[in-house]
Amino acid sequence: MSFEIKTATAIGAAIATVLAAAPTIATADVLTFDGGACSGGCSNYASILQSYGDIAGQLDVEYKRSQPNGGSLSWWNVYSDLNGVAWGDPGGVSEVFLRPLAGFQVTLLGFDLGSYGGDNRSSQVTLLGGNGDVLGAFPNLIIGATHQSFASNLTRSDGIRIQWGPDAYDVGIDNIAFEVTAIPTGGIPEPATWAMMILGFGAVGTAIRTRRRTAAA
């Protein structure tokens, strides 16, 4: 066997090993908060189903209002130029928790924020791991007639919490894009340090909206 063939064989084996250890990339899912987000279809003030966005055996999505009210988030038809958003309490902080189940990890790709009536509203965004460690924060945001889009590349096996407020009543969330993959065999470290959050304006998120998710059965 020639040296060239040996080299090609070694390279091929190395590539196969890497591919076997790498996670399977899933099609990006997007929580658009369409009519399937609420029981019997959505109308203003309707509650977001806790099952909306769940992937059986892989991911549980949780929607949380601030205390003491508790409960799920609510739905509204238009915030800024977004159609169908989730919102919470006046003066409170709301949360969407992407919680992967055993053997899986979730990557947050992006989301949008809009304001009620398109008026300028003050808010901030904090991203946390499932255990509460801060992954990134944007304080002193002003959300107006045009929604703001956030792009991300955060991957966690303990989940990712998106928190916004302190006026989650007048600021709503939409188009939460993510993907779920199996945790690689061999324990490749999570790229939590790869966090590169980019604050933009307009419809940056549209590039990753490859499939609209409805409520899981």
Tally Cβ neighbours within 10 Å of residue 55.
18
- Pair of tokens at residue 216: 């899981």
Q: What is the mean pLDDT of residues 189-208?
A: 42
Q: How many residues does the chain have?
A: 217
Mean per-residue pLDDT, 195-216: 41
Identify the pLDDT of residue 121. Answer: 95
- Residue 187 is predicted with a pLDDT of 56
Please give the Cα distance from 108 to 133 (Å, whole number).
16
Q: What is the mean pLDDT of residues 197-204?
A: 42
| Least confident residue range of 4-13, 38-47, 56-65, 83-92 | 4-13
Global pTM value: 0.77
What's the pLDDT tens digit per position in 6-39? 333 333 443 333 333 344 445 579 999 998 999 9
Identify the DSSP state of 209: -
Q: What is the pLDDT of residue 209?
A: 40
**Cβ-proximal residues to 13 (8 Å cutoff; 6+ apart), any chain:** none
Where in the chain are the domains?
Answer: 25-213
195 pLDDT above the threshold of 90: no
Whether 174 shows a pLDDT value over 50: the answer reads yes
Topology of domain 25-213, CATH: Jelly Rolls (2.60.120)
> pLDDT-based confidence at 66, cuts 50/70/90?
confident
Give me the pLDDT at residue 68, please. 61
Give the 3-state DSSP-derived string for 22-36, with helices as H, strands as E and coil as C.
CCCCCCCEEECCCHH
Mean pLDDT estimate for the chain:
80
Q: Which strands, in side-by-side order, build the sheet including 59-64?
A: 59-64, 94-100, 160-165, 121-129, 134-143
Q: What percent of the chain has pLDDT over 70?
A: 71
For residue 185, name the pLDDT band (cuts at 50, 70, 90): confident
Per-residue model confidence (pLDDT) at position 134? 97
Query: In terms of Cα–Cα distance, which of 79, 165, 149 is closest to 114?
Result: 79
